[in-house]
Structure 1
Amino acid sequence: MLASTGIAAVGTAWYVAYLTVGAGSEALAYVFVPAGGVLATAAVLHMLRGGALNPVARRFWRALLGAAGVITIGYGWLAVDMLTHAAEARTRSMPLPAAACVAIGFGTAIWAVARVPVVLPGGVEWWRMVLDRTIAFLGCATVLWYLGLAPMFSAEEPWSRQAMALVGLAFLVAVGAATKVSYVLGGPVDRVALRLVAASGGVTAGIVAVLAVRFGYAAGIAAQAVVMPLTPVLATLGVAAQWRADLGLRRAPARSGVLLPYLAVLAVDVPLVAVAAGAPLGWPVRVVLVAAVVVTALVGARQFIAFRENARLLRNTRLQEERLQYEVSHDALTGLANRALFRDRLATALAATAPASVLLVDLDDFKTVNDLLGHGVGDRLLVSVARLLRAEVGEHGLPVRVAGDEFAVLLTGADADPEELAGRLLSALNRPISEHRLLVQASIGIAAAEPGATVDSVLRDADVAMYTAKQRGKASFVRYADGMGEPVLAHMQLGGELRRALDNDELRVVYQPILRLRDNRLVGVEALVRWHHPTRGVVCPGEFIPAAERTGLIVPLGRFVLRETCRQAAAWSSEYGPDALREAGLNVSARQLHDPDFVSDVAAALADSGLPCERLVLEVTESAVLRGQQVSRALYELDRMGIRLSLDDFGTGESSLSLLRAFPAAIVKLDKSFVDGIEIDDGQPAAADARQAVARAVIQLARALRLDTVAEGIENAAQAAVLRELGYTCGQGYHLARPMTADGVSRLLARQQTVASADR
């Protein structure tokens, strides 16, 4: 690169010396181009040998290598001819073989540049680019025609065929190269390298042609010594740019060709100014006028396309803004307004002090639908509920999907009756909906916007009323009243305190013994959890277990009870022997079984404690068993591990018998409701007979299926006697033993061991 630049500098210096002091023969002007051409050819060859080029780029540079070599040979031939005939250099024409070599070289370069791939846009953008290229080509060609080719054709002394061919080819290279490279955004051939290569041939050839036509032989000498040696310099710079691109220094693509059509239009105006200044209206000028008219028409067409495209873009932008605004303010699944729009409309109503009411609608037991039928069915059910809300609310309110299975309705206006609407909604939900014909119920909380209310206070009141409706049995509506939120708030606060209790070790595990009915021997225990609150004392499970279920804390709470039970059962087995306690059981909720880590938590607790799998009993209610495929998979995995599963509260559900076929149960626990009053009480013999019949049926079914049985809730000796006569071998209840600490169970085991030793 330095060498080629030095040759161009030497050529310029010689030309200055030639003009000032007449240094050297005119034939020396023809030496600088082939000397620089040798260096440019060497640079391309060096890159092809050492560069890791893309196949497309390698094809391009190979073609340029051939073009540079042939052009160098042609100009070398010309230089030798001029030096040989130095005395005739001023009048001598370019030898035909040399002109042929140069023409072939230029043609090869044009072909190489034309083959460089350009990423063409589609549709309207493609037509815009075609128009831009046509305008650019005609604009540049018009200027070069007026300044170069037209004077050549109209010259009094005719030009040689070689000169006319080379000048015409030079014009074609200049115009075509400018048009082509202005629209190359990127690709295997570096765009800067491509522009330098195009400029090396096109720009210099155009300048030389114009100079030669306008200023004759003297300008030709200047072109050979000053202008044309720039061609190898630019070509070598192009090679350097390609090297940098292959080294990872490629420039980021930029939009090109934006200004070229406008510059071309400006270029057309240059000959028109000359015409307006009084230039003779010959046929070269007429060509300029025709070109100007064509360019103007093309510019008009381009502007029309741009106008149409801009109008389309503006229309699409407006549609996109409307769609985005809709998506921001509406639920994607149901199409109802979302929480953000709901709060905005409620805030507007409160600011206007207009009468407003809010209905908060929460679907009851919607999670069961997802668990049993899948989320797809659940989503379609939500869409059906949204459709029902629209139909019932009509134009009198705003139906909203707040989140999940929770909906809301905003009613404004003095004539709106929220209670009447709530009644209609509950009635409509009494009929099957969705394509699956599902029955769904809802709990509705109603809150009115009182003077001074805020958005948050109205929503809080509606939420409290809805929660109260759920506590009263679901499938109902409740209107908020003063003081209603206190017990609800206390229940919510209980969840936060329970989280603290887990962290502060306030929970204790107690154990209710399971005894053999014929001799009151301890055979197992059921683990129960107790909460020793620092200020409220002992909190009963019936109060904090629902809070744990609602907040999801039942999972860490259950994990704590599981690990403590396994640890303690293993300790008893180690101290009193493996036969001292047959089993240790604990209750497992549906929420725990839905936890994907539950089975691994059980395995980890058994492994850490060393308790054998068959000594652990997990008690599951009938309602939990019916909670979907995840629960079923977890239960069967636990059964395959050897853990015994107990069906708790048996007989209280609607599918108890069918459950015994689908559920891998090992133990059936007769519910306390069938034990209460099982003894013959005076005045109610029929009720006792019915309970005995149920208890007898359960024991017979269990024997047929080879299941163990445990009777729950035994509260007196008569109940124990009746159950023993019916065939029950094990039971638990306050009559047999109350829940006790681990130390209490240890004392029972120690006493039992002492009695067994004495009997031996």
Structure 2
Amino acid sequence: MTAERAPMRHVVATLVIAAAGALWFVVWMLTGVGPAAVAFLALPLGAATAAAAAFDLLRRAPLSRPARRFWRLMTVAFGALGVGYTILAVAAFRDAPVLPVMPPAAAAFAGAGFLVAMWAMGRVPLGITSSGDRWRQWLDRSIAFFGCGTVLFHFGLAPMISGDQVWSVQALILLGMSFALAIGGITKVSYIRGGPIDRVSLRLIGLCGLVGAGVAVLMVLGGDPGTIPAQAVVMPIAPAFGALAVRRQWGFTEASVGRSNTWLPYLAVAAVDVPLIAVIPGALTWTDKLVIVASVCVTGLVTIRQYVVFRENARLLREKRASEERLQHEATHDGLTGLANRALFRRRLGEQLEAGGATVLLVDLDDFKIINDSLGHDVGDHLLMAVASVLRDGAGPDGLPVRLGGDEFAVLITEPAVLGETVAQRILDAFTCPLSEHRLLVHASVGIATAPAGTPLDRLLRDADVAMYAAKERGKNNWVRYRDGMRPPVVVHAQLGGEMRRALDAGEFTVHYQPIMSLHTGRIVGVEGLARWRHPTRGMIPPAEFIPAAESTGLIVPLGRFVLREVCRQAALWLAEFGPDAVQKAGPNVSARQLHDPDFVADVQAALADAGLPADRLVLELTESAALRGQQVSRTLRELHALGVRMALDDFGTGESSLSLLRAFPAAIIKLDKSFVDGIELDAPGTPEADARQAVARAVMQLSLALGLGTVAEGIENQQQADRLIELGYSLGQGYHLARPMPAAELTALLAAQHLTAAA
């Protein structure tokens, strides 16, 4: 139950009683109507109301055992005070108009109430565990108690004891108990760092006792007549403080409240000087007065000195604590993005797996290395910071975003009710907009895995990694949840990528060449260089298996460099052996990652120079998607074109911007995609299928003629297709019908036979 829902009726009742007592006193002073004994009714009524408030708190509010013990004792204390002052009120009405001396029974109940309240205050735990701290706090509290007590005694009790008016022992004892409760409450609450009792509640209880100071002042100044305003106006304030303290406790939850008030002893030492200064005007010699002044100055200076030292120590402790927090943050967070790092991620994941199930998202940026290599590390760093912001927003309160290293991120789902797919889709949706100040469009692949309690941490991470790799295989910018049976093929693929570096160093890669032939004469006019991998145990691995692995690992760059140099070397040998008409163009395939490599142009120049191959004999074959990769690619293509290297658009017609690309791309050759050749010979002329298929092939031919570009038809699988393409104007083609890809030695034999035929 919160404090806002705690009942106000007891607080309102005590305030009404106090206000009624004050109003009665004003009317009584002005008119003198009614007996003075009415003044004695306010305190017992207020105390009974405060006791009812504490009892209601015990009955209805959820309290810890120490809090329940404290408020049970305070209920008894308020009740005892109410009984004691009820007896006094009865005596006041009985002895009217003479003001009564406090009956022993009334004093006994009231004194018991003060003792129980002091006992309750003393039992409140301070939250201290070490004996050293406990002794230091007892010392500080003793200084504060005696310092504050001296002031109250000098200005409160001492004038009553030494004055002409004779006060009853009961009154003096009760006032002394009231002061003790006030001072004890102040010193106690100043050193509570946290616990079951609200600090404000304890302060209000202490103020109940401090009301006695007001009573003492009225007694000293007014004598017996001072009893009336004390009973009617001042003392009813104490039950109001008690009711407010009870209300404050409603809904309070036990928690640490920070550093205690260690300034209180210094204030108490300074307070002792006040009575010393007060006695200076008395009957003292000038030497006595000089000693007192010097003592006050010394204690004041010592207090200031100690307080300065305390402030300096407190500053050093704050700096030390801030430094420790900073070091702790640096040890558990990534320095660039501010996200949690791998160490914190593994710790939190381990805790969650021990407590219950856990869901993990692994997020990997697609083609980040290309951006980093082509645009620079500063741009890459800004992009990583933007990605971190996306992950924070995407995870929100449901997950912990993490940077594992490089362009690898993760999200630990901390809210069990939230699905990993929901968070993954939020992240991917955010990646549809350009990121960072450089307005870069990037995509990510997300793997999701969930495991029950007790699952090994590394197993869950492997499952998420397998799912992420599967997402990349499905075309990237996608999420995939791990399922049983997914691991073996993905692991084999990942291991394949790991073996590629060894294979490159071991020379297991070679180049096969597929001829590009004249459809009219059947002569070989060019070749396309294709990478092949002969694995020592698995045999020949199809390119469809190892090329995606090379792309995802970045090994496509050294593999492409090898193919480029090998094609240039072999083409130069054929040129030297069979003359300029044998192989007019030699074309290795080039990936987007190669075009983003800042050394690619230099690699091409070196390959041509080392082989001695003229630049116009080299044709780099690029897909439309590779040619549409931004300013870095455009700059690379222009530099290659300036060298005299020719470029061919491979798989033309399958992209979304083929026509506009021809205007910006320095292409020399268009290669009609196999999808427009398949079945071109089967459709009967005049049918919609035949007309549509042939219309595309005819349009590509007309575009190439209009722009002065060469054309090559890909994927020719029979003579009927070749004949139909000749009818549409095509003169060059390649495909299994014409010649399959073959090693260099076999193609050399074909070129030799072709050369002999030409010579004959």
TM over 0.5, shorter chain: yes
SS at match of 1:478: strand
Rounded Cα–Cα distance in structure 2 between residues aligned with 1:725 and 1:572: 32
Query: Residue 328 and residue 709 in structure 1: after superposition, are their counterparts in 2 closer, same or farther (change >3 A)?
Result: same
Query: Is 1:344 aligned to 2:350, yes or no?
Result: no
Query: Is 1:317 aligned to 2:320, yes or no?
Result: yes
Paired residues for 1:512-591 under 5 Å: 512-591=514-593
Rounded Cα–Cα distance in structure 2 between residues aligned with 1:372 and 1:569: 30
SS at match of 1:737: coil
Paired residues for 1:263-342 under 5 Å: 311-342=314-345
Q: Once the 2 structures are TM-superposed, how far is the Cα of residue 329 of structure 1 from its aligned partner? A: 2.2
CA deviation vs aligned residue, 1:402-455 (integer Å, no higher than 9, x gap): 345443222346545434544555566678888899876544322223454332
CA deviation vs aligned residue, 1:534-569 (integer Å, no higher than 9, x gap): 221111111111111112221221122122211111
Query: Residue 752 and residue 428 in structure 1: after superposition, are their counterparts in 2 closer, same or farther (change >3 A)?
Result: closer
Q: Counterpart of 2:258?
A: none
SS at match of 2:737: coil
Query: Is 1:687 aligned to 2:694, yes or no?
Result: no
Q: Once the 2 structures are TM-superposed, how far is the Cα of residue 529 of structure 1 from its aligned partner? A: 1.6
Percent identity (aligned): 67
Q: Counterpart of 2:718?
A: 716
Paired residues for 1:41-120 under 5 Å: none
CA deviation vs aligned residue, 1:39-90 (integer Å, no higher than 9, x gap): xxxxxxxxxxxxxxxxxxxxxxxxxxxxxxxxxxxxxxxxxxxxxxxxxxxx
Paired residues for 1:117-156 under 5 Å: none
Query: Residue 576 and residue 436 in structure 1: after superposition, are their counterparts in 2 closer, same or farther (change >3 A)?
Result: closer
Asked if structure 1 preserves the Cα contact closer than 8 Å seen for 2:374 and 2:632, the reply is no
Asked if structure 2 preserves the Cα contact closer than 8 Å seen for 1:371 and 1:627, the reply is no
Q: Counterpart of 1:600?
A: 602
SS at match of 2:507: coil
Rounded Cα–Cα distance in structure 2 between residues aligned with 1:648 and 1:733: 14
Q: Counterpart of 1:218?
A: none
Asked if structure 1 preserves the Cα contact closer than 8 Å seen for 2:370 and 2:596, the reply is no
375-384 or 405-414: which moved more?
375-384
Query: Residue 586 and residue 414 in structure 1: after superposition, are their counterparts in 2 closer, same or farther (change >3 A)?
Result: closer
Asked if structure 2 preserves the Cα contact closer than 8 Å seen for 1:562 and 1:586, the reply is yes
413-422 or 615-624: which moved more?
413-422
Rounded Cα–Cα distance in structure 2 between residues aligned with 1:635 and 1:433: 26
**Matched AA of 2:720:** A
Q: Which residue, out of 447, 451, 458, partners 1:449?
A: 451
Rounded Cα–Cα distance in structure 2 between residues aligned with 1:734 and 1:618: 21
Paired residues for 1:368-517 under 5 Å: 386-387=388-389, 389-391=391-393, 393-412=395-414, 415-422=417-424, 425=427, 442-517=444-519
Rounded Cα–Cα distance in structure 1 between residues aligned with 2:573 and 2:436: 55
Query: Residue 688 and residue 735 in structure 1: after superposition, are their counterparts in 2 closer, same or farther (change >3 A)?
Result: same
Query: Residue 578 and residue 455 in structure 1: after superposition, are their counterparts in 2 closer, same or farther (change >3 A)?
Result: same
Asked if structure 2 preserves the Cα contact closer than 8 Å seen for 1:619 and 1:647, the reply is yes
SS at match of 1:618: strand
**Matched AA of 1:607:** A
Rounded Cα–Cα distance in structure 2 between residues aligned with 1:683 and 1:546: 40
Q: Which residue, out of 633, 639, 658, partners 1:631?
A: 633
Q: Once the 2 structures are TM-superposed, how far is the Cα of residue 482 of structure 1 from its aligned partner? A: 2.8
**Matched AA of 1:484:** M
SS at match of 1:465: helix
Asked if structure 1 preserves the Cα contact closer than 8 Å seen for 2:446 and 2:471, the reply is yes
Q: Once the 2 structures are TM-superposed, how far is the Cα of residue 316 of structure 1 from its aligned partner? A: 3.1
RMSD of Structure 2 on Structure 1 (CA): 3.5
Asked if structure 2 preserves the Cα contact closer than 8 Å seen for 1:618 and 1:644, the reply is yes
Rounded Cα–Cα distance in structure 1 between residues aligned with 2:553 and 2:435: 30
Query: Is 1:610 aligned to 2:612, yes or no?
Result: yes
Asked if structure 2 preserves the Cα contact closer than 8 Å seen for 1:381 and 1:433, the reply is yes
**Matched AA of 1:623:** S
Asked if structure 1 preserves the Cα contact closer than 8 Å seen for 2:357 and 2:453, the reply is no
**Matched AA of 2:658:** S
Q: Once the 2 structures are TM-superposed, how far is the Cα of residue 645 of structure 1 from its aligned partner? A: 1.2
CA deviation vs aligned residue, 1:281-316 (integer Å, no higher than 9, x gap): xxxxxxxxxxxxx9x999999998777555444433
Q: Once the 2 structures are TM-superposed, how far is the Cα of residue 587 of structure 1 from its aligned partner? A: 0.5
Query: Is 1:737 aligned to 2:742, yes or no?
Result: no
CA deviation vs aligned residue, 1:661-683 (integer Å, no higher than 9, x gap): 22221111111111112224259
SS at match of 2:680: coil
Asked if structure 1 preserves the Cα contact closer than 8 Å seen for 2:701 and 2:711, the reply is yes
**Matched AA of 2:586:** A
**Matched AA of 2:537:** T
CA deviation vs aligned residue, 1:443-481 (integer Å, no higher than 9, x gap): 432222345433222111111112223323445433322
Paired residues for 1:153-168 under 5 Å: none
SS at match of 2:537: coil
SS at match of 1:531: strand
SS at match of 1:710: strand
SS at match of 2:604: helix
SS at match of 1:358: strand
**Matched AA of 1:622:** E
CA deviation vs aligned residue, 1:333-377 (integer Å, no higher than 9, x gap): 543322221111112223x34222212234556668779999888
